Structures are given as C-alpha cells and as structure tokens.
Amino acid sequence: METATKLVEVRKICKKNLSHIPDWIDNKSISDKRTWAYMFDLNELLIMLLSNRIHTQEIIDKILYKFNRIIDILIKEGDDDFDKEIELGIYYLGAVDFLHNICLDNELFEACENIKKFGDKFLGKINS
C-alpha cells in the first residue's frame, strides 16, 4: 500500500481510537464535558504529528506548547484534582505509545519520528 494511503488509514484508526471517552470521565457534569472538549482538542494536536514528513523541532515545539497550555488549563480547572492530573498523564502517555506503535507497524517512519520527538519532550515535562 502506498505511504500516503497508509497514512490516511492510520489517521482514521487513530482518530477513532482517540475519540473514546475514558472511563474516568462521566461526561454528565459540566466540568467533565469541558474536560472532554479540551481533550478532543489535545487529540487533534496529536493527529497533526501523523505526517509523511519529519517535522522540524520548531513545529514539534509549537504543537507541544499548545498541548501543554491546554493541559495546564485542564489542571487549573480541576480545582487541584490530583487524580485528574494523574489520569491525564496516563491517558496521554498511552495515546503517544499507541500512535508510535501503529505508525511503526505500518512503516510510517516519518510519523514515528515526529511522535518520538513529541513524546520525549512530553515525558520530560511529566518527569519535571
């Protein structure tokens, strides 16, 4: 299968996978609905990493900056909800791992490189 076609298919799979609301969001409260709306935006940023070109570090940094700003908003809106902070970290570590693995399995090496660069910096923020 041609790389561009693979990329389109992988993006569809990833969007579908990332569109499932995690169990820790009940989606009944306004706060949880807002959390999921922000997470949807975060997931769209992750999909931007799926490309047939290796992004420059500047582009990765811009995506990461937007990503971190939304994460910070979510954490601040959580009223010091440490559980939400942990759940977000676990969710996005899993999402980055999923994206990396599916791209690797489909030999989308440019996308793998983008995800790796993003993941390394994101993991660095979590560890700091």
The answer to the question of residue 28 being in a domain is: no
pLDDT band at 28 (very low <50, low <70, confident <90, very high): confident
> 73 lies in a domain?
yes
Residue 63 belongs to what domain range? 3-19+38-127
* Pair of tokens at residue 121: 């910096």
- Number of domains forming the structure of the chain: 1
pLDDT category of residue 126 using cuts at 50, 70 and 90: low
Burial label, 31 (beta-carbon count in 10 A; 0-12, 13-18, 19+): middle
Assign 108 a pLDDT band (cuts: 50, 70, 90). Answer: very high
Within-domain flag for 31: no
CA distance 7 to 74: 30
CA 114 – CA 111 distance, rounded (Å)? 5
Q: For the residues 22-28, what does the mean pLDDT come to?
A: 84
DSSP string, 84-97: HHHHHHHHHHHHHH
In a domain, 9, yes or no: yes
Q: Does position 127 have pLDDT exceeding 80, yes or no? A: no
Tell me, yes or no, whether 11 lies in a domain. yes
In a domain, 32, yes or no: no
- Residue 43 inside a domain? The answer is yes
Q: What's the pLDDT at 1?
A: 62
Q: Would 90 be classed as within a structural domain?
A: yes
Q: 127: which 2 tokens? A: 């560890």
Q: Classify 81 in phi/psi space as left (phi over 0), alpha (psi -120 to 50) or beta.
A: beta
Q: What is the pLDDT of residue 125?
A: 60
Q: Tens digit of pLDDT for each residue in 50-97? A: 999 999 999 999 999 999 898 888 877 765 567 778 888 889 999 999
Question: What's the rounded mean pLDDT across residues 31-38?
Answer: 87
Average the pLDDT over 15-41 and give the result.
Answer: 88
